């Protein structure tokens, strides 16, 4: 085992070791699982000052911290923007080191914005993280529309295209699935049983991407006609009418709160005349599977008759997501995705930011981009709702970042949010949507979703997103059907370690690739995937288990 990395996992050293530089010049490395202590003398490391830029990234002139590009060993000396500094404690790669002295209570800046406050005195060269940083309330006066930079749209004659499936309502799909939709968890087994009958149908129906089972844990035990059931119905209807779904079957139990007929009537699904199978009417589970199988068989020839055709890139509706973020996510992957998002908007398309709890602390930057005070206030209203919602449950929004995020270098929700919103690019915020509401506005919009990836993406796709762009720094095996998910690694180590799951390596930016280089790569990959190229998650069959509607309210 090396001194800085676990030989098997290759994970960041902060997960395994603590370290300090003693007065006698000896560095003590102590494994967190209480393995034997290793001591090495300071002469094992260079004491000659090196430029900060050779070992760390200083993002903004106002920042009090820089981000280490490799593990910085105690005793190392650096030449920073405010003079020489010495590393007193291991600063793992992706983590922050102080560039100047900070007193307890001082604000700490990254991205030129406040990410937290010092809880104790911090010296130049100190590791800046959860042990000496916390969140506290501070004044942020909202401004609306003060940073609106209208996107310059490409002339229609010059706009890019992809090969997609044109649907009767004018929307365009990037995939062509048949969906089997459960109204309640009680019909989930039947729903899965139906879909399982059609695994490997590609030879018989080459233009059908598959038959997917959309099951969930809700649909009953709630107030009839309440908000919880309305939101579930809106989500299910969004998938039934999704442009990536060529046909669907609804499967119910019969006595549930989420009645099949209510779903159809309240969300205008009558015109689709969807096949319906109800367990209590069919006579039991096995008879329901047989009836559902016949229903899918009746749809397959129609769905298979659909063909891809050239479509304008203005038909792209891309969900912007991040999961398992690290200290590099806001430096590489998220800004590169933001660059691609700007390109999509210039093509006349739509990009959809979600995860409202991961906008918290950066909302003031988005309201400045709002096209109107009404749009900006709609976002702030959602932020206030989340503050009240988390307080009512006895927790705080800063319970996020997760342990994995913190191990990767993210300290507070403010820091995480400031990096996360980089996915949205620079174009104006044109609308704010509730969970699973159908997206009709063009440009950059926000949807109110939780930060939990499967729940968040379920809402975005229900709203009409036909592709997901998903950044990660710690690693993710996420996929989502019926919308293909492109995963973007924030660092090269992750891209190599999880090469079977990562589609794009934004970590190249740390090795000299430009923002435009990686942003263009993401944009081109989005067009290719929209035209049918498979993502790494699709190649592994990932994407049905991730369907996870947001369940609110009491379970009765």
- pLDDT by 10s per residue, the chain, length 556: 122 222 233 333 333 344 554 544 444 444 344 343 334 444 444 567 999 999 999 999 999 999 999 999 999 999 999 999 999 999 999 999 999 999 999 999 999 999 999 999 999 999 999 999 999 888 888 899 999 999 999 999 999 999 999 999 999 999 999 999 999 999 999 999 999 999 989 889 999 999 999 999 999 999 999 999 999 999 999 999 999 999 999 999 999 999 999 999 999 999 999 999 999 999 999 999 999 999 999 999 999 999 999 999 999 999 999 999 999 999 999 999 999 999 999 999 999 999 999 999 999 999 999 999 999 999 999 999 999 999 999 887 766 688 999 999 999 999 999 999 999 999 999 999 999 999 999 999 999 999 999 999 999 999 999 999 999 999 999 999 999 999 999 999 999 999 999 999 999 999 999 999 999 999 999 999 999 999 999 999 999 999 999 998 888 8
The residue range of the domain holding 86 is 13-134
The verdict on 304 and 316 lying in the same domain is no
Peptide bond into 55 cis (omega under 30): no
Q: How far apart are CA 325 and CA 21, in angstroms?
A: 30
**Total structural domains within the chain:** 3
The verdict on 199 and 78 lying in the same domain is no
- Note whether residue 108 is domain-resident: yes
Could you give the strand order of the β-sheet that contains 50-51, starting from the edge strand earlier in sequence?
50-51, 77-80, 83-86
Q: Which of 134, 151, 175 is the last residue of a domain?
A: 134
The verdict on 259 and 367 lying in the same domain is no
- Note whether residue 322 is domain-resident: yes
- Note whether residue 20 is domain-resident: yes
- Note whether residue 159 is domain-resident: no
Q: What pLDDT, on the 0 to 100 scale, is given for residue 433? A: 98
pTM: 0.91
Task: Provide φ and ψ at 350, rounded to 5°.
Answer: -130, 140
Could you tell me which residues come within 8 angstroms of residue 157 by beta carbon, excluding any fewer than 6 positions away?
A: none
Q: Which of 289, 309, 329 is the last residue of a domain?
A: 309
- Note whether residue 549 is domain-resident: no
CATH number at residue 74: 2.30.130.110
Q: Which of 275, 309, 343 is the last residue of a domain?
A: 309
- Note whether residue 231 is domain-resident: yes
Q: Which of 217, 174, 520 is nearest to 319 (CA)?
A: 174
The verdict on 317 and 273 lying in the same domain is no
Backbone conformation region of residue 363, classed left if phi is above 0, alpha if psi is from -120 to 50, else beta: alpha
The verdict on 446 and 534 lying in the same domain is yes
The verdict on 199 and 100 lying in the same domain is no
The verdict on 318 and 269 lying in the same domain is no
Q: What pLDDT, on the 0 to 100 scale, is given for residue 29? A: 47
The verdict on 24 and 53 lying in the same domain is yes
- Note whether residue 340 is domain-resident: yes
The verdict on 475 and 326 lying in the same domain is yes
The verdict on 219 and 289 lying in the same domain is yes
Q: How far apart are CA 440 and CA 420, in angstroms?
A: 24
Interstrand relation of 443-447 and 429-433 (parallel, antiparallel or unpaired): parallel
The verdict on 475 and 331 lying in the same domain is yes
- Note whether residue 548 is domain-resident: no
The verdict on 437 and 518 lying in the same domain is yes
Which two structure tokens, joined as six digits, stand for 293? 């199988």
């Amino acid at each position: 085992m090396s001194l800085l990395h676990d030989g098997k996992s290759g994970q960041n050293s902060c997960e395994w070791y603590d370290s300090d530089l003693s007065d006698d010049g000896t560095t003590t490395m102590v494994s967190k699982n209480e393995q034997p202590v290793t001591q090495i003398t300071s002469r094992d490391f260079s004491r000659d000052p090196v430029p900060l830029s050779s070992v760390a990234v200083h993002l903004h002139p106002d920042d009090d911290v820089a981000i280490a590009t490799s593990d910085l060993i105690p005793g190392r000396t650096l030449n920073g923007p405010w003079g020489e500094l010495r590393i007193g404690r291991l600063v793992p790669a992706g983590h922050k080191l102080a560039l100047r002295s900070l007193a307890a209570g001082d604000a700490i800046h990254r991205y030129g914005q406040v990410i937290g406050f010092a809880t104790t005195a911090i010296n130049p060269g100190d590791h800046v993280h959860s042990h000496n940083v916390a969140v506290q309330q501070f004044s942020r006066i909202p401004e609306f529309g003060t940073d609106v930079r209208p996107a310059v749209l490409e002339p229609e004659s010059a706009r890019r295209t992809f090969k997609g499936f044109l649907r009767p309502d004018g929307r365009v799909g990037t995939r062509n699935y048949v969906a089997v939709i459960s109204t309640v968890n009680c019909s989930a087994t039947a729903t899965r049983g139906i879909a399982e009958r059609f695994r490997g149908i590609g030879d018989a129906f080459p233009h059908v991407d598959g038959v997917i089972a959309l099951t969930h844990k809700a649909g009953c035990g709630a107030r009839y006609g309440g908000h919880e059931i309305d939101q579930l119905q809106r989500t299910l209807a969004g998938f039934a009418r999704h442009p990536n779904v060529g046909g669907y079957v609804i499967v119910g139990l019969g006595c549930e709160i989420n009645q099949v007929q209510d779903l159809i009537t309240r969300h205008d699904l009558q015109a689709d005349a969807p096949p319906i199978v109800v367990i209590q009417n069919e006579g039991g589970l096995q008879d329901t599977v047989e009836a559902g199988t016949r229903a899918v068989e009746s749809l397959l020839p129609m769905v298979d008759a659909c063909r891809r055709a050239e479509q304008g890139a203005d038909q792209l509706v891309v969900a912007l997501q991040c999961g398992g973020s690290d200290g590099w996510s806001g430096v590489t992957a998220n800004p590169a995705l933001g660059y691609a998002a700007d390109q999509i908007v210039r093509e006349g398309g739509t990009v959809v930011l979600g995860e409202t709890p991961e906008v918290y602390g950066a909302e003031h930057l988005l309201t400045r981009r709002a096209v109107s005070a009404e749009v900006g206030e709609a976002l702030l209203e959602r932020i206030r709702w989340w503050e009240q919602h988390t307080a009512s449950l006895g927790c705080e929004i800063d319970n996020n970042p997760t342990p994995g995020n913190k191990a990767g270098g993210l300290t507070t929700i403010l820091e995480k949010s400031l990096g996360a919103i980089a996915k949205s690019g620079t174009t104006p915020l044109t609308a704010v949507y509730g969970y699973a509401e159908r997206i009709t506005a063009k440009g950059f919009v926000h949807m109110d979703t939780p930060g939990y990836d499967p729940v968040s993406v379920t809402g975005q796709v229900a709203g009409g997103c036909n592709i997901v762009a998903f950044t990660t720094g710690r690693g993710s095996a996420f996929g989502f059907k019926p919308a293909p998910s492109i995963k973007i690694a924030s660092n090269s180590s992750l891209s190599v370690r999880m090469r079977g799951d990562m589609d794009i390596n934004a970590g190249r930016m740390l090795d000299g690739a430009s923002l435009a280089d990686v942003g263009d790569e993401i944009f081109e990959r989005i067009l290719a995937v929209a035209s049918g190229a498979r993502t790494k998650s699709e190649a592994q069959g990932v994407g049905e288990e991730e369907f996870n509607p947001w369940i609110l309210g009491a379970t009765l």
